[in-house]
Homo-oligomer: A and B are copies of this chain.
Amino acid sequence: MTAPLDDEPPLSAADAKRNKAAQDSAPALKAWVVLARAYLAISRHVAADVARFGLTASEFGILEALYHKGPLLLGDLQKKILVTSGGVTYLVDRLARKGLVTRESFPGDKRSRFAVLTPEGSALIKQIFPGHAKRLAKVLGALTPKEQKRLTGMLRDLGKGAEKEPLPRERKKGKTGLS
């Protein structure tokens, strides 16, 4: 392995995480660049894959979430796929027009509504999902499953940290940053 030059000033590792200004921003910059490239490259495959069934990647994301989690409130769906509230309305409208999901009222709160898979939607996602998963495994095949798991752990931390960090403008007290 012969780890290449990877030197850090030997400062107390205890507060390496909590250092105030993250002096050395070069690793973060590089990480962001390659993260964006990887995302764009993979998302292209995902889009092309689900397009065969007349779906966009976001629509597929909704079906997938409902398939794995069951009915979800629109707000929860929004947090899950990280779009704006208008985006959820738009996407659920489209899926409803295709007959794949419906909206159902939430007994405790008349403002809220569930998104629910119709039988057609359920059948479709069940049909699509296995092939999609296989294709994804192939696209991510440059890493072994073990490496993929390590990657997942790091990305999870990264994503959570980024979601926690307040957005620069208008950072009043909103938690999500989505309007």
Contact = CB atoms under 8 A, between A and B. Distances in A.
Interface of A: 4, 6, 8, 16-17, 21-22, 24-32, 34-46, 48-49, 51-52, 68-69, 82, 133-152, 154-163, 165, 167-169, 177
Nearest to A83: B40
11 contacts: A4-B68, A27-B148, A27-B149, A28-B136, A32-B46, A34-B152, A48-B168, A48-B169, A142-B162, A143-B161, A150-B154
Given A28-B145, A35-B39, A165 B136 contact: no
A137 B146 CA distance: 27
Chain A interface mostly helix, strand, loop or mixed? helix
Nearest to A178: B44
A155 B31 contact: yes
Copies in the complex: 2
A36 B177 CA distance: 17
Contacts of A169: 48, 51-52
B45 A155 contact: no
Contact of A159 (B38, B49, B149, B150): B38
Contacts of A159: 34, 37-38, 41-42
Given A51-B169, A152-B30, A158 B136 contact: no
B22 A168 contact: no
Given A28-B139, A44-B167, 9 more contacts: A4-B69, A6-B149, A22-B141, A27-B152, A28-B137, A31-B149, A32-B42, A37-B82, A141-B161
